[in-house]
Amino acid sequence: MTKKEFIIEQLSPYFINNKTCGYDESKKQCEYKTAAGLMCVAGKNFAEYKKEYEDNPIKDILEQYGQIIFKPEAQSVLTDREWAYMQQIHDGVAQWDVCDVIERIELLEKESKLELQELKDLYYKHLEVK
């Protein structure tokens, strides 16, 4: 699987139905794993969920533990910075109005040197439905 395929496969479900995001309505925040079992983009790729990950940005977790935290198939596919952008995109989609999703996609495109029009199209499609 290419890096682009991985990114699209990981993020597309959240754009299609943002109720699948690891977002806790009662806390009004994203979580790697909610009490209901929903997971964010990083959380669903953890080899094992650990409580100490809670309330820490993915960039800090990766800085401390490295990509060994991920399932083997998710290790070394993305850089740590790309994982951070993926998580920011997830968080924006979960709340639709909290961050500029398109801006985050463009940052991921710049960092990965990929064109991710598919994600932009999914975002624009959501706007049409709203």
Distance CA 120, CA 48 (A): 31
Q: What is the pTM of this model?
A: 0.93
Residues 117-120: contacts with CB under 8 Å, at least 24 apart: 118/8, 118/12, 119/7, 119/8, 119/11, 119/12, 119/15, 119/89
The phi-psi region of residue 47 (left if phi > 0; otherwise alpha if psi is between -120 and 50; otherwise beta) is: alpha
Looking at residue 10, what is its pLDDT? 98
More confident residue, 9 or 51: 9
Tell me how many degrees the CA angle 103-109-112 measures, rounded to the nearest 5. 140
Looking at residue 129, what is its pLDDT? 59
Residue 25 half-sphere exposure, CB side, CA atoms within 13 Å? 5
Q: Give the pLDDT confidence of 95-106 residue by residue, as tens digits.
A: 876 458 999 999
Query: Average pLDDT, whole number, for the chain?
Result: 93
Looking at residue 96, what is its pLDDT? 75
More confident residue, 3 or 128: 3
Give the pair of three-digit tokens for residue 27.
Answer: 């806390």
Across 56-81, average pLDDT: 97
Looking at residue 97, what is its pLDDT? 61
Instruction: Give the count of domains, the chain.
Output: 1
Instruction: Examine the pLDDT at 130 and tell me if it is beyond 60.
Output: no
Range of the domain at 121: 3-129
Q: Give the pLDDT confidence of 5-50 residue by residue, as tens digits.
A: 999 999 999 999 999 999 988 888 899 999 999 999 999 999 999 9
Residue 69 CB coordination number (10 Å): 21
